[in-house]
Structure 1
Amino acid sequence: MATWFVTGASRGIGAEIARAALKDGNNVVVAVRNPDRVPDDLKASDTVLPVALDVTDNDSIPAAVQTAVDRFGTIDVLVNNAGRGLLGALEEITDAEARSLFDLNVFGLINVTRAVLPHMRAQGSGKLVHIGSRSGFEGEPGVSLYSASKFAVAGISEALSVEMAPFGIQSMVVEPGVFRTDFLDASSLSVAAHRIDAYDGTPAHVTLDWIDQANHAQLGDPVKGAALIVEVTNTDKLPTHLYLGRDTLERLDVKYQQVQKDLAPWREKSAATAHDDADAA
């Protein structure tokens, strides 16, 4: 029996991951901003511990982590799931909106991970599972700042997979496509308050129109997605990336093609920027 600590676990993919981990026979710490909103099947029991945690409140994080350790003895799996989206062309997004997004999606993840790592290092084991996004390997119009935050998550996770290896700790970033949760609702997705009409009819605002059509009709099944995340996390060796969903796989193929298209005409000149004596060295 392992202990899972899941942030943002009151709804959406976070709640489904908590359920899947619980079904798999684990202890689960359900870390949420408001424990009163925890679903009935994730309320306190012998194997479930709801804790109040706002990942943007750095002062409250150590207490939540310590409460989990005091109850179950360890934290074996940390799932950094808490996050939200932000729509709008880059020019439309204010500094305050961008910083608020990064406080949650990036710095919240950093601070929770920083609080959990000493416990994992002390026990000589642990797994870090960071919920990124398809937008974390492909910048998309209308979600530039959200993409930037998820690119950051991917970079952090990749670095941690190497940094923490000497301590027996693994790190994986999950990059899901669109799953049928409430992520596209106003509770999880913000739209830039300032709208510039010049972007109407361009890709940045086409994304805004797409949201209304896609909400609650997304391709991915969050129950199946959560089950796969738990299955993969249970393996001895985590992949560095878990690409999750049919649409993610399709866009990954497009990304590969774009990399090759960008690389081919400039490969030789790129290599030639080395010092002339580089080969001799």
Structure 2
Amino acid sequence: MAETSDGRVWLITGTSSGLGRALAEAVVARGDRLVAAVRRPETNDDLVAEAPDRVKVVRTDVTSTKDVHEVVEAAAQGFGRIDAVVNNAGFGLLGGVEEATEDQIRSQLEVNTFGVFNVTRAVLPVLRAQRSGHIFMISSVAGQFGAPGLAWYDASKFALEGFSEALAAEVRPIGAKVTIIEPGNFRTKWAGDSMVMAAARIGDYAPSIDPVRALFSGLNGNQPGDPAKAAQTIIRMLDEPEPPLRLVLGGDALELIRQKLARQTAELDKWESVTFSTDFDKA
């Protein structure tokens, strides 16, 4: 039985599996309305069957501005408003900077970064007109912490973080909010079937990259994060009057980010005198 809800409208990209799918299920169970933007609509047939009056599934490639504008229009026209936008579509590319092909690199950035830009730009006029709305950016611990073998994935998420931080300040006057979600390792297909492997392997990089490959191989299916719990947490953030700009999900992610910030602070302190030495001398 669906929970009581005010029937808010969610636009979620990438709902075929993983966190996007878990969130889509939670939104429908809550009684809210869902517009699912997904490359394979048939993966969401069960959600449509469960709530045909509250679920719209639109075949969407987030790298296509035409597709993106069509799904935003389907949400705004079909349900009259958009309360939450979840930029979730994305994938991981594992391999060294030299090991990935140009096509693989461009695909990584087109989906994870430019796809988010496309959706956000298309939805902003709707949020501006209604003077409300909450944009959730599904980033990653990789948006804060760079790891060997994930340079291109990290680049896509670091770009998303800076974009989102600036966007949050821009949209505040129109009543819209932005929250960057930074998950750690969650039990999804990200490290398994959804992971794209770089086309080549260069032996010189084995000492730095092979341990990362082994880590993900061993972790797949045993990740500590629960997607269903993450979905409920994101829904909760929509109810928060003052949600955080960044929300870390998972104890593993929190520990990695804290370690990175401690190293960064120590490095700033160590080189502080050099930093100040580049200023003009005081008169």
TM-score range for the pair, normalised by the shorter chain length: over 0.9
Amino acid at match of 1:214: L
Aligned-pair identity in percent equals 40
Name whichever of 48-57 and 110-119 sits farther off.
Answer: 48-57
Q: What is aligned with 2:24?
A: 18
Q: What is aligned with 1:245?
A: 250
What is the CA deviation profile of residues 176-195 of structure 1, one whole-angstrom value per residue up to 9, with x for unaligned ones? 00000111223x21000111
Query: Which among 113, 136, 158 is matched to residue 165 of structure 2?
Result: 158
- Hey, what's the Cα distance between the residues in 2 that align with 1:251 and 1:210? 15
- Hey, what's the Cα distance between the residues in 1 that align with 2:242 and 2:58? 29
Structure 2 vs 1, CA of residues 99 and 24 (structure 1 numbering), >3 Å: closer, same or farther?
Answer: same
Alignment partner of 2:247: what SS?
strand
Amino acid at match of 1:83: G
Maintained 8 Å contact 1:5/1:30: yes
Q: What is aligned with 1:90?
A: 97
What is the CA deviation profile of residues 192-248 of structure 1, one whole-angstrom value per residue up to 9, with x for unaligned ones? 011112222x12121112222111111111111111111122211221101110101
TM-score by length of 2: 0.93
- Hey, what's the Cα distance between the residues in 2 that align with 1:272 and 1:234? 47
What is the CA deviation profile of residues 148-194 of structure 1, one whole-angstrom value per residue up to 9, with x for unaligned ones? 111111111111110111111111110000000111223x2100011
Unmatched 5+ stretches in structure 2: 1-6
Q: What is aligned with 1:225?
A: 230
- Hey, what's the Cα distance between the residues in 2 that align with 1:275 and 1:127? 43
- Hey, what's the Cα distance between the residues in 2 that align with 1:269 and 1:196? 37
What is the CA deviation profile of residues 39-86 of structure 1, one whole-angstrom value per residue up to 9, with x for unaligned ones? 513545121111111101222111111011111001111000000000
Q: What is aligned with 1:38?
A: 44
Unmatched 5+ stretches in structure 1: none
Deviation at 1:269, TM superposition (A): 2.6
Name whichever of 206-215 and 165-174 sits farther off.
Answer: 206-215
Q: What is aligned with 1:145?
A: 152
- Hey, what's the Cα distance between the residues in 2 that align with 1:273 and 1:164? 35
Root mean square deviation, CA, Å: 1.4
Alignment partner of 1:174: what SS?
strand
Amino acid at match of 1:14: G
Q: What is aligned with 1:7?
A: 13
Maintained 8 Å contact 1:130/1:173: yes
Structure 2 vs 1, CA of residues 39 and 134 (structure 1 numbering), >3 Å: closer, same or farther?
Answer: farther
1:59 matched to 2:82? The reply is no
TM-score by length of 1: 0.94
Alignment partner of 2:190: what SS?
coil
Query: Which among 107, 119, 125 is matched to residue 126 of structure 2?
Result: 119
Amino acid at match of 1:5: L
What is the CA deviation profile of residues 15-61 of structure 1, one whole-angstrom value per residue up to 9, with x for unaligned ones? 11112223333211111112112151354512111111110122211
Maintained 8 Å contact 1:10/1:39: no
**Corresponding residue pairs, total:** 276
- Hey, what's the Cα distance between the residues in 1 that align with 2:175 and 2:18? 30
